[in-house]
Amino acid sequence: MTVLSLTITAAVIIILLIASAFFSSSETALTAASEARMRSLAAKGNERASAYERLSQHRDLLISSLLIGNNLVNVLATSLATSVMITLLGESGVVIATILMTIILVLFAEVIPKTFAINHADDFALSVSRPVSIIVFVLKPFSISLRWIVHILIGNHNTRDVYREEELRGMIEIHASGSDSDAREQSAMLSSVLDLGEVMVDEVMTHRASVAMIDASHDIDAVFMQVMSSPYTRHPVYSGKQDNIIGVLHVKALLRAMGEAANNKKLEQIATTDIAAEPYFIPETTLLMNQLQAFRHRREHFAVVVDEYGDFRGIVTLEDILEEIVGEIDDEHDESITGIWPQDDGSWIIEGDTTIRDINRALDFNLPDDDAATLAGLVINESRTIPLPGQEFRFYQVRFRILRRNRNKIERVRIWPEPNHPDQNTKKTEESE
């Protein structure tokens, strides 16, 4: 082998090693880059980000093409190096070429390029997206053939979409860990948005026992006094029994009708049923995400919740759903009493109809709300009885004492946290003396 041919061969090997480094680093950068940032850049008109978007839509072709190109140049570089070593050193050149190329390929074509790519994933992905697009197009026939062979051998089991939500929740938790209070609050809001697709309206609605309702048979003066003493702007109107909801009265509609009637001196002729809007009924099993979209589509803020038998269960508002995301939203007319009162001994006295979700948020507890929506429901569900005042229960690292019961309704409970309880899931029931 002449000096010229040896020089040309060495130059080709160096070029192949550079190509191998390019394929390795491109694969790492394109798979590690932030899809959210790339999508944002593409929406702003960034051409390189748009190229990345097109590549990410066919990730299997992308990986196949890069692997084909990487293995092709690695094998060719190793073969040329082995040929040169055999010419120079004889049969022992095979061993030397193998050891030398392994070190060079691992160090300069794998470790260094991939380390650089992972540390500059987004910028590097933008830089290589266009040339990689050309490579994917050229190698597409080979990639499709390989994909077909792989599909025959191991099948096609794509679970990426199944775990996408878990991945997103994990990213939110990572963002919150070790961050300041603002970051943790933002993470909690993002997690709450994901929860909208799992929480039903019966978990956030105002129960019928707490709903301010208007009897359609009352005269307008009585209705006006009731509305003025209420902190709410919308009130369900019933006829006969409270399950028979026939409308929803808005305070603006009432005041407008009374103003017009006062001018004509016909105030006594106003009928509540004439100024009440048609009620919007929804089932209690409606998911919050679906209900939020329904509110937007219908331009509604208020819905009457019914069960599977059509019986009145409560009401849910747009504010209730938004509060699931951002927390409590109070205005100058909201009542300050939330049903949770801290005590000097470290306990809390809580109304029985307070929702478990509100308790978990206010006290940083982790009480389950799968089988019961309120504190009273949780106690009844876990104790398998309707307890008497004075009885105590311990479950989920919390101690519960029944303070007040009205017929079969638990109205007030005192709770204590027990962080040192030996088993969080142990349920111990005892009656206090």
Q: How many CA atoms lie within 13 A of 94 on its CB side?
A: 1
Separate counts of helices (H) and strands (E) for the chain: 17, 13
**Helices 47-56 & 59-89 angle (0-180, nearest 10):** 90
- Domain boundary assignment for the chain: 3-154, 201-326, 340-431
Spacing of C-alpha 410 from chain mean position: 33
- Cα–Cα distances (Å) from 193 to 95, 295, 317, in that order, read 60, 16, 17
Residue among 25, 26, 30, 69 nearest 53 (CA): 30
Contact 214, 272 (CB under 8 A): yes
pLDDT of res. 281:
92
Instruction: State which residues of the chain have pLDDT below 70.
Output: 1, 155-169, 171-172, 174-185, 262-268, 327-338, 419-433
- Common-topology check for domains 201-326 and 340-431: no
CATH number of 340-431: 3.30.465.10
pLDDT of res. 18:
92
Largest CA distance in the chain: 118
pLDDT of res. 208:
80
pLDDT of res. 15:
92
- For residue 61, the tally of other CB atoms under 10 A from its CB is 18
Question: What is the rounded CA–CA span in Å between residue 5 and residue 160?
Answer: 50
Residue among 63, 61, 3 nearest 28 (CA): 63
Homologous superfamily (CATH) of 201-326 is CBS-domain (3.10.580.10)
> What are the pLDDT digits (tens) for 59-88?
878 888 888 888 999 999 899 888 888 888
Question: What is the rounded CA–CA span in Å between residue 26 and residue 117?
Answer: 7
Q: What is the pTM of this model?
A: 0.54
